[in-house]
Structure 1
């Protein structure tokens, strides 16, 4: 059974050298150890250059020739569609789309390792560009040598410590043909301006610039890792079992530690690095007491009664007029309901939960008014509206369907289980939670 290694292959000098070297190494390991390795070249057709079709033909022909020569190699390509938004640069759009396409193709061929041909000069350029943009430590850290991303794919740059001249020497030694991207001479792009207009003079004045800047990126990586470690310790100390981030506790930290913890919390919530401009704004505005909202990463940050929460924007609005639905939720699992844009999550419970038998015949419907809710076993029935007010549940956490057994309320979003339905000692208990689509883990 073969094991697959993917290589990002544009047909340029660097990726051609890396693909050839990876295929030769795989061939040697297969012959010596029976490793069963296969290398797959992944090519992304951006459609931005009139020469893109010719580049695709070149890459296909080169891989076919190498495969005929005995290298364990095959070729796969995809064409991008769409175009940058008015507010997005061509560079940023192409990079974002290319990485998404590479991830998709790597999964399709069964690879868990994707090799990229960045070398030491690329790392030095990245640090300079980030510094000129006013980036923080994470930006100055440049590109990691290897990184497991959320797509369960290891993105690796095996030549990140190698000078550009070493790659060029490999190309010459093996007489490798490669394409020259005409856009590399276009100084409208920031990296090209740096390479063509700045880098020659920088090397003349400071011959060690490439190695020194790449080393500085390594130190920045260490600093970024330390920042993350401190932030995690602070967030663990701030955790109190309630949703969101406790702002009074956050503000007891020093200003820099509070900002660092907030940065890490936002990244964990949104899956994105928060812009420095947003962090600076929040540092000044979060100290207030009144309810407030901020746009963030395609969702909303909300301050309410001293807590900060983030909620992604709803992918669609659920009609309040949806009819009732009969359900049997007596078995653990996920029960998706597409029309309601969410799912019921049922799990075994070792503490307070609802009895398994009570979940066999339920009715789900929208809130209509007049519902009664009991918050605890020894408390009185309250109107659902009053229960929400007493529990300080904000309006956005009240959205979702109600669950009934007969005429009695069993579950309300934001409050959870009605105490009348808590399992008795000795009964099999299950936990019950309504999860909007935006909160479901795929």
Structure 2
């Protein structure tokens, strides 16, 4: 073997991922990428080989979901037999049908999480998605009907970096007809999603009932909406740069960059439009999700009045609170029923908290999350002995080694803990106070760094403001 060929053969293959549902568009994208990878491999030495991965997310929402995965896997095996460098990987997700975010949104969020996890496992830094110009035009129209901001009207980005993975849509400006022609030319087999005919979904209603009428009346509808997305994307980028600079400067000046808090002394003087846009930017930056137009308007109107009054307030629905003139973002887990956003069931702590998980004591407000820790945590042997007890007054808590114990009221004031974070019941081991919501584990009970230990965090439930405990 020639030295050059030997050196190339020792190179690790480059992993490229394609999000593949098994439908027409994603199968066409997968076929095109695999063909290119195979052609490059045939050209000989000079570059590392490319391994293509078809990433399939199994939602389990359709009776045919198993068939879709079988189609993707079987097709990849057929292509492997031709010597093409492709393999398939699947990830099962459970979509909560009663989720407050809606079935479509929950499925999309879980799909994105699953795709990202598979990319991490495979070492793929590039994920290709098969969205085309019609998809983009539909997205813009749906966003407009929902009253979206400039960022929403920008539609889907051509390229976005998420956690070290590039999510790319190379066909975003190509018409659907070209994809259909590619499938016919190469005989690419694909499945038809039966849910595409379900008019309960907004995008399907648009495709089935609205789009044909609009396209007949406005033949250039698809192109025009795609252009709108491009213009809105440019505008959104400018707005985001401005908002990021303004919000960042205000936070750095007042709080030294403390995460999740934004002092509003300067913001309250800005024009209303700038207040609204900066709220959108800051909330997405802190929470990772968007703030609806109705909430943006409400907060932009309410916050100046509350600031003038020096009042504190909170909005649990969006995980926001106002305290000491700063807006704080700490989204709570939505709902404290049989399962939480923690992704696990709430356990009854009738016999005490027995280890990692989310625990609820009968009659006590909210719940307690227990996780492994490396510092500041509690001895695992103490954990099962803890019981909640309402404050009676006079309790003392020690903030650190060598520091004197002080009354809880003083400690709350010093730490700037707002009233709603004090609503949880402290945890006691017999007659000793061990853990206080909003403050943490008492210094006298903390384990040395590196020793086995548990961290505890209290999460408010719907009854946290008026506990019956």
Category of TM-score, reference length = shorter chain: 0.7 to 0.9
Alignment partners' CA distance in 2, 1:374 and 1:125? 55
What whole-Å deviation, never above 9, does each CA across 1:319-375 have from its counterpart, x for those lacking one? Answer: 9xx9xxxxxxxxxxxxxxx987585779xxxxxxxxxxxxxxxxxx99995769999
What whole-Å deviation, never above 9, does each CA across 1:261-306 have from its counterpart, x for those lacking one? Answer: 2222222222221222221111122121322111144xx4222232
Equivalent residues in 2 for 1:49-198, closer than 5 Å: 49-85=62-98, 87-150=100-163, 152-198=164-210
Q: Does the Cα contact within 8 Å between 2:369 and 2:457 map onto a contact in 1? A: no
Equivalent residues in 2 for 1:364-379, closer than 5 Å: none
Alignment partners' CA distance in 1, 2:397 and 2:204? 66
TM-score (norm 1): 0.73
Q: Does the Cα contact within 8 Å between 2:28 and 2:182 map onto a contact in 1? A: yes
Matched, 1:24 2:38: no
Q: Structure 2 vs 1, CA of residues 305 and 6 (structure 1 numbering), >3 Å: closer, same or farther?
A: same
What SS class does the counterpart of residue 226 from structure 2 fall into?
helix
Partner of 1:241: 255
Q: Which runs of 5+ in 2 are unaligned?
A: 1-11, 334-341, 353-367, 377-385, 427-437, 444-454, 459-469
Alignment partners' CA distance in 2, 1:199 and 1:389? 58
Partner of 1:424: none
Q: Structure 2 vs 1, CA of residues 89 and 38 (structure 1 numbering), >3 Å: closer, same or farther?
A: same
What SS class does the counterpart of residue 308 from structure 1 fall into?
strand
Which runs of structure 1 show a deviation greater than 6 angstroms over 4 or more consecutive aligned residues?
314-317, 365-368, 372-375, 380-384, 396-401, 435-438
Partner of 2:61: 48
Q: Does the Cα contact within 8 Å between 2:16 and 2:125 map onto a contact in 1? A: yes
Equivalent residues in 2 for 1:42-441, closer than 5 Å: 42-85=55-98, 87-150=100-163, 152-239=164-251, 240-241=254-255, 243=258, 244-286=261-303, 287-288=305-306, 289=309, 290-297=311-318, 300-313=319-332, 385-386=409-410, 389=413, 394-395=418-419
Q: Does the Cα contact within 8 Å between 1:17 and 1:167 map onto a contact in 2? A: yes
Q: Structure 2 vs 1, CA of residues 83 and 120 (structure 1 numbering), >3 Å: closer, same or farther?
A: same
Q: How many residues align?
A: 382
Alignment partners' CA distance in 2, 1:306 and 1:283? 14
Q: Does the Cα contact within 8 Å between 2:99 and 2:106 map onto a contact in 1? A: no
Alignment partners' CA distance in 2, 1:190 and 1:340? 40
Q: Which runs of 5+ in 1 are unaligned?
A: 323-337, 347-364, 402-412, 419-434
What SS class does the counterpart of residue 203 from structure 2 fall into?
helix
RMSD: 4.1
Alignment partners' CA distance in 1, 2:92 and 2:104? 17
Alignment partner of 1:2 out of 13, 24, 31 = 13
What SS class does the counterpart of residue 158 from structure 1 fall into?
coil
Alignment partners' CA distance in 2, 1:233 and 1:62? 49
Alignment partners' CA distance in 2, 1:162 and 1:249? 45
What SS class does the counterpart of residue 135 from structure 1 fall into?
coil
Alignment partners' CA distance in 2, 1:105 and 1:274? 29
Alignment partners' CA distance in 2, 1:66 and 1:381? 70
TM-score (norm 2): 0.69
What whole-Å deviation, never above 9, does each CA across 1:109-151 have from its counterpart, x for those lacking one? Answer: 221211110001100011011111111111111100111114x
Alignment partners' CA distance in 1, 2:147 and 2:93? 31
Q: Structure 2 vs 1, CA of residues 69 and 100 (structure 1 numbering), >3 Å: closer, same or farther?
A: same
Q: Does the Cα contact within 8 Å between 1:373 and 1:384 map onto a contact in 2? A: no
Alignment partners' CA distance in 2, 1:210 and 1:372? 64
